[in-house]
Structure 1
Amino acid sequence: MTTDVISTGIGTIRTGVLGGGFMARVHAAAAQAAGSPIIALASSTPDRAAAAASRLGAARVEPDAAALIAASDIDVVHVCTPNATHAPYALAALEAGRHVVCEKPLATTAADARRLVEAAAHAGVIAAVPFVYRYHPMVREARARVARGDVGTLLSVQGAYLQDWMLAASDDDWRADAATGGPSRAFADIGSHLCDLLEFVAGERIARLTAVTRRVFDRRAEHEVDNEDIAGILAELASGAVATLLVSQMAPGRKNGLTLELHGTAASLRFAQERPEELWVGGRHGSQLLLRDPETADASSARLHRMPAGHPMGYQDAFDGFVADVHAAVRGEAPDGLPTFADGLRAAVLTEAVLASAARREWIEVEG
């Protein structure tokens, strides 16, 4: 198989993918859009790897993760495997001197995530986590407006990430098994995206929180479940702004209902991921629906507009923008807003705070 590639000052950036499911497809498409060939792929079995390699356009199949990580013709390893394997695979790739893109959660414990941050710093490589909702242009527009004071003093935040794919007791997935998915499911899987988006747009962190979680079914498809379906969080940001957040994988009709609304003394802003071309700007004496337009966007947003106004952009475009920034960082640039392993650690810290608060029924001061 031959693949057209783009030469850079450091040579062609070559990609290896661990995993063969939906996220592997998204990662591979984004790498290819950035001009990177998929050199090799490894999955859970040789048959699955061969089928995925054919679908994704990988030049070859490696027998296992260790062989792919050791391959001398791979520069960036994308880890798209079950959660419990993220930390060991990412660590092995870092120790081999590879740049790493690791799916969230970066690790199923904050301690492991912290070790990965330290290992990436020691290796001197780029290590990124795909909090890709940052790469919707209207998210960057919201962030710019908050940063320049358009909303005034931030007073409150309302956010949610709602899905329905685990609505029935017969709905099952490896994420529902804590051994492979980790001790948190709903919050670690999608609540981490919501909190990353909140802190990224607001420009400040959650300082303390109290949470409740609910597991609706103790068994799914004949096996026990020991992580949550729903999480509700009341949080206080560093400035004193109050946030209410709802995360559920059992909300009928909601597929990827990620919404973030910020209320300030001068204006409100609302972004809905399922309507990514829009940003609602609320005022006391009138509101407007701002549509994506590179001609009028803030510069931080305009650089991510991959299509002219009126041609809708979506999730894969956001992912493509993220991987393009990873490659820019590999080339020595410093792209604004690239989510790194430090952001993956932040998500792990917040996950542990949510679980601890829910278990102890008390407020938790969030580290960092």
Structure 2
Amino acid sequence: MRAGLIGGGFMGAVHTRAARAAGAEVVAVATSSPEGARRAADRLGIATAAESVEALLAMDLDVVHVCSSNGAHLEHALAVLAAGIPVICEKPLATSAADAARLADAAREAGLVATVPFVYRFHPMAREARDRVRAGGRVFTIQGAYLQDWLLEPEDDDWRTDPTAGGPSRAFADIGSHLADLTEFVTGDRIVRLQALTRTVHPERNGHPVGSEDAAALVVETASGAIGTLLVSQVAAGHDNGLVLEVGTAGGSVRFEQEDPNHLWLGARGESSVLGRGAAQTGTEAQRLSLVPPGHPMGYPDAFAAFVGDSYAAIRGSAPDGLPTFDDGLRAARLTDAVLRSAETGGWVDTADAAEA
């Protein structure tokens, strides 16, 4: 694979490492300026700094990774598809459901592989959680959280706090989308309605107004009738990247923690146990994604590389299980719109209505 990169920041570096781990050659990078592209190329060890996105797309490429700011995803991903090149676009896919729908439609019309890195699906024990939840019968309850503290203080700042670059939602669009995607992926059950509260705890950061939320709390109901709560925060002191999902079914409870991805907590009446990655009783998908023997930890870079590897396999003509596409990115955008609408109105929002908004 000859890969191009749009955007040279933190996620550009993550994509570059994952692309190389999946066997690609990252041949060129473009950013918002030629100078920025040269800096990114030097920092990431990429041979060519493209003068512009247009120059990058004129090169002989098999795939382009879009890692620009959220507000630029629509323009850049549409340009990649128009050039006839498969695309991997960072999430959120777009800053509104309408724009995400444009991208999903464009990918479908172009007949090109277009994926979004909901990479927590690619932890082996997240796949094992999916297998066990779906084998457990009726889903009763869901409880999930995604907690960080990197924006805890009012002087903490980032381009994501600017709605022009980051979009109208931050905490939910940025990390809540991962939690919602993992919830629906593991349960196989869609959230059909939700009620949300959001809070911006620091209305100003470094002297500029903040137009997006620092935290969001949701009550959700699924198509099968399960009920749940999802809490998302980027101002939760002491939490680095605390993504946790627990699903209670008729057959028992299953709990996955992203910061301890090599284990799965299993609950039965009156007892519980911990299942380790690579154990003989894990399923086919968990085994496929387990690259090293038990006792050798795997983590986020491995999950990201597995996602990129499956995206590349799809470009080559395979159909990997559980690959998140632009349709999944659209789903996350619709849920984000529903969260913002519920927070504004104070009421329940049917996510089918959100899909049509």
Match of 1:31?
A: 19
Match of 1:232?
A: 217
Structural mapping, 1:164-179, within 5 Å: 164-179=149-164
d(CA) in 2 for partners of 1:360, 1:294: 48
d(CA) in 1 for partners of 2:196, 2:270: 35
Verify the 8 A CA contact 2:215 2:235 in the aligned structure 1: yes
Aligned with residue 174 of structure 2, among 185, 189, 206: 189
2:97 is the counterpart of 1:119: no
Q: Report the TM-score, using the length of structure 2 for normalisation.
A: 0.97
Verify the 8 A CA contact 2:74 2:103 in the aligned structure 1: yes
Q: Which amino acid aligns with 2:37?
A: A
Verify the 8 A CA contact 1:294 1:305 in the aligned structure 2: no
Q: Report the TM-score, using the length of structure 1 for normalisation.
A: 0.94
For structure 1, list consecutive stretches of 5 or more residues without a partner in the other structure: 1-12
Match of 1:93?
A: 80
Q: Which amino acid aligns with 2:90?
A: E
Aligned with residue 53 of structure 1, among 41, 50, 58: 41
Aligned with residue 204 of structure 1, among 158, 172, 189: 189
Q: Which amino acid aligns with 2:67?
A: C
Per-residue deviation, residues 53-76 of structure 1 (Å, max 9, x unmatched): 1232212010122221232x1121
Q: Which amino acid aligns with 2:188?
A: G
d(CA) in 2 for partners of 1:243, 1:285: 22
Verify the 8 A CA contact 2:278 2:286 in the aligned structure 1: no
Per-residue deviation, residues 82-105 of structure 1 (Å, max 9, x unmatched): 100001100010011010000001
Q: Is 272-281 or 288-297 further displaced after alignment?
A: 288-297
Aligned with residue 260 of structure 2, among 268, 275, 282: 275
Shift of 1:51: 2.3
2:241 is the counterpart of 1:256: yes
For structure 2, list consecutive stretches of 5 or more residues without a partner in the other structure: none
d(CA) in 2 for partners of 1:57, 1:36: 14
Match of 2:143?
A: 158
Shift of 1:229: 0.3
Match of 1:20?
A: 8
Verify the 8 A CA contact 1:109 1:348 in the aligned structure 2: yes
Verify the 8 A CA contact 1:109 1:352 in the aligned structure 2: yes
Per-residue deviation, residues 177-213 of structure 1 (Å, max 9, x unmatched): 0011000000000000000000000011001000000
Shift of 1:284: 0.7
Match of 1:241?
A: 226
Q: Which amino acid aligns with 1:60?
A: T
2:129 is the counterpart of 1:145: no
d(CA) in 2 for partners of 1:77, 1:233: 35
2:97 is the counterpart of 1:75: no
d(CA) in 1 for partners of 2:54, 2:230: 39
Per-residue deviation, residues 146-184 of structure 1 (Å, max 9, x unmatched): 22x2x3311000000000000000000000000110000
d(CA) in 1 for partners of 2:309, 2:105: 24
Aligned with residue 315 of structure 2, among 325, 330, 349: 330
d(CA) in 1 for partners of 2:212, 2:9: 22
d(CA) in 2 for partners of 1:22, 1:294: 34
Verify the 8 A CA contact 1:74 1:98 in the aligned structure 2: yes
d(CA) in 2 for partners of 1:276, 1:64: 39
d(CA) in 2 for partners of 1:294, 1:124: 39
Secondary structure of the corresponding residue to residue 305 of structure 2: helix
Note the aligned Cα RMSD (angstroms): 1.0
2:285 is the counterpart of 1:300: yes
Secondary structure of the corresponding residue to residue 354 of structure 1: helix
Identical positions, percent: 56
Shift of 1:45: 2.9
d(CA) in 2 for partners of 1:93, 1:223: 34
d(CA) in 2 for partners of 1:285, 1:160: 25
Verify the 8 A CA contact 1:294 1:308 in the aligned structure 2: no
Q: Which amino acid aligns with 1:105?
A: P
Aligned with residue 31 of structure 2, among 35, 43, 46: 43
Aligned with residue 92 of structure 2, among 86, 92, 105: 105
Shift of 1:34: 1.5
Shift of 1:294: 5.5
